[in-house]
Amino acid sequence: MSNLHLLVKQKALELGFHLVGIADVDRPIEDPPSHPTDPQEQRDRPPHSEASTHLLSWLAAGHHADMGWMEHPKRQDIKQLMPSVQSVICVALNYYTPADRPAGKEYAKISRYGWGRDYHRILHKKLKALALWLEAQTLAETEPIEARYYADTGAVQDKVWAERAGLGWIAKNSNVITREYGSWVFLGEVLTNAKLTPDRPHTAHCGTCTRCLEACPTQAISPAFVVNANRCIAYHTIENRAEEIPPAIALTYKAGWQAAIFVKTFAPGTNALPKKPTSQNFSPIPKTLPQP
**In this predicted model, what pLDDT tens digit does every residue of 131-171 receive, in sequence order?**
999 999 976 556 799 999 999 888 999 999 999 999 999 99
240 in a structural domain: no
268 in a structural domain: no
Query: Comparing C-alpha atoms, which of 19, 25, 17, 22 is closest to residue 4?
Result: 22
| pTM confidence score | 0.84
As a residue count, the chain comes to 292
248 in a structural domain: no
Confidence band of 254 (pLDDT split at 50, 70, 90): low
Confidence band of 280 (pLDDT split at 50, 70, 90): confident
239 in a structural domain: no
For residue 193, is pLDDT > 70? yes
Which of these is catalytic: 66, 152, 158, 199? 152
Largest CA distance in the chain: 64
Confidence band of 264 (pLDDT split at 50, 70, 90): low
131 in a structural domain: yes
**In this predicted model, what pLDDT tens digit does every residue of 73-116 receive, in sequence order?**
888 889 999 999 999 999 999 998 877 777 777 777 777 888 88
Active site (annotated) includes residue 158: no
Task: State the pLDDT at residue 81.
Answer: 93
- The predicted model gives 197-215 an average pLDDT of 91
Query: Comparing C-alpha atoms, which of 197, 184, 68 is closest to residue 115?
Result: 184
How many domains does the structure of the chain reveal?
1
222 in a structural domain: no
For residue 233, is pLDDT > 80? yes
Task: Give me the domain span that covers residue 102.
Answer: 4-208+275-282
77 in a structural domain: yes
135 in a structural domain: yes
Q: How far is CA 277 from CA 19, 261, 271, in A?
A: 14, 18, 14
